Amino acid sequence: MAGGNGGKGDRERDNSLLNDIRKRFIDRLSPSTLRSRIFWEATERLSRSRWNRPDWEADRISLSHFLKSTRDAYFKRAPVVWSNLLVPSEIIHGTECIPFYPEMASAVVAAAGLAPRFIDRAAEAGFSPDACSFHRCMLGCAVDGFLPEPDYLLTTNYPCDSAPLSFSYISRLYGIPHDIVDIPLPGREASLDLLAEQLRDVARYLAGLSGLKATRARERMEEAFEFSNQALGYLREIEEMRKRSDCMLDGKDAMGNISVLSACMGSKAGLEFYSKLAGEMRERGSEGDNSLRIMWMHLKPWYSQRIFEILDNYNVRVVCEEYTHATWEHLDPVRPFHSLAEKVGGHFLVGPVERRASHLVKLAEDYRIEGAIHYNHWGCRQSCGGALQVKKALGARNIPTLLMDGDCVDEREYQEGQIGTRLEAFLESLS
């Protein structure tokens, strides 16, 4: 979760500090810096210092977890597994491997203002600007040696084509294996068994990488399921609280939780994060009763908060986001791989767009939204390709939707003036 609730003066001070940090440290980052103990000690100290003032204390837990996990990945303290969004992280935590989600790394790189440098590097390596910038940024980082070396690459065939394809390049670059898990279309029960088999094979391979014996591997997977199930319980509670009109958790903060949802389920940190967040939400007072409630679809530009400043100016709150919700039921440790297959295969991004549209319509109804914004990230065929059907489905419920073209990672493709004008016109039409 990024951002803050401070005033203009605070923001200016923060920006000035950020710029200073950027010039002194971030712009000078090198692959060897990221592999030095001093860097990680300093970063972790900074994250615990008074300079880090998250709106939600739960964010300290996720930040601390990601810093530790990323540091461990650079130092190879366990086998490092690169994955994409729909790979169930329980399978990685449950085999004592370190998950690394390079698409999320791109978001972090973008937030640090470094994405253009790596996107240009990917272009030099031959990657077209028509491809998704999450992946181009990741590829540029990898080519220049900025990412922790993987021991294994694992992707699913959803949510988009880019991950299986870009990971193929990474596989050649590092000379390490890459497996693609084929998630079948919905309604194919026999193929769901085949999906479970694939996940079982992956788990065996990962346990082999970690050197886990069978008994220990079973215990660790059961523990990961327990963490995941408990975290799911808190996440459901958070969702219920967010449906209330007085809920304070705004989408601009909550959107970053996609990283926890994707990468931390099955870990102790995932459980602690959702437990803490649920506790904080229970304790906080009311705010925003008069705000206009909107839903955010796809992701946000990670390098700019400008859109959310405009939303604040219009007293509009993002009360739900497309990707931060639980989309599965409790996992069953007795039939772990079928259970994971159901989790993955049941995701709304698997298969035709009508599932995605149904998911979004349900969110719209549950959260009583009055408008929706679909951020059309350049190069994202799965998302942009279905945006018009989503808009139509929401329109049938009298929910106006703004389709806003932009780029989540490459700030050079962000037309601030144009986006601001369109957004303001849309918000005026809502009020």
Partner 1 sequence: MDKDRIVAWFCTYTPLEMLDAAGLIPSRHFGDPQILESADALLHPAICPYARACLAHELKADGPHHALFINSCDAMRRLYDTWKDAFSGDFIYLMDLPRNQDGGGERMLAEEMKHLAAALRERWGVTITSRELLRACVRREESRLAYLDSTRGAGGGERLRSAMRLHTGLEAGDDSDGERTRGGTAGTPILLTGNLLNPEGLVTWLERAGARVVWTDLCNGDRAFCSSTMAEGEDMDELLASLSAAYLERHPCARMSDSSRRYDLLVETTRRVGARGIVYASLKFCDSYLYDYPLVEDRLKEEGIPVLRLESDYTDGHVGQLMTRIEAFLEMI
Which residues of this protein are in contact with partner 1, per CB under 8 A?
125-128, 130-132, 135, 157, 160-162, 164-166, 168-169, 172, 180, 182, 184-185, 188, 190-191, 194, 197-198, 351-354, 376, 378-379, 381-382, 384-389, 392
In single-letter form, the type of residue at position 344 comes to V
Beta carbon nearer to partner 1, 202 or 260: 202
Give min distance, CB of 238 to partner 1, in A: 31
Beta carbon nearer to partner 1, 158 or 426: 158
Give min distance, CB of 200 to partner 1, in A: 11
DSSP letter for 101, please: -
> Strand, coil or helix: what is 416?
helix
Give min distance, CB of 354 to partner 1, in A: 7
Beta carbon nearer to partner 1, 187 or 285: 187
Question: What residues does 318 pair with on adjacent strands?
Answer: 294
- 206: closest CA among 100, 78, 73, 336? 78
Give min distance, CB of 427 to partner 1, in A: 23
Beta carbon nearer to partner 1, 196 or 369: 196
Give min distance, CB of 158 to partner 1, in A: 10
Beta carbon nearer to partner 1, 140 or 148: 140
Beta carbon nearer to partner 1, 249 or 393: 393
CA dihedral of 405, 381, 122, 139, whole degrees rounded to 10:
120
- Which residue matches tokens 């073209």? 405
Helix (H) or strand (E) holding 375: strand 371-377
Cα–Cα distances in angstroms (integers) from residue 315 to residues 34, 228, 311, in the given order: 41, 35, 6
416: tokens are 């601030």
Give min distance, CB of 168 to partner 1, in A: 6
In a 13 Å sphere around the CA of 29, the CA atoms on its Cβ side amount to 22
Give min distance, CB of 204 to partner 1, in A: 14
Beta carbon nearer to partner 1, 59 or 342: 342
369: tokens are 């939204």
Give min distance, CB of 125 to partner 1, in A: 5
395: tokens are 């329109």
> Strand, coil or helix: what is 145?
coil
108: tokens are 């972090």
In single-letter form, the type of residue at position 156 comes to T
Beta carbon nearer to partner 1, 180 or 310: 180
CA dihedral of 54, 276, 148, 43, whole degrees rounded to 10:
40
Burial 298-312 (b: 16+ CB within 10 A, else e): bbbbbbbbebbeebe
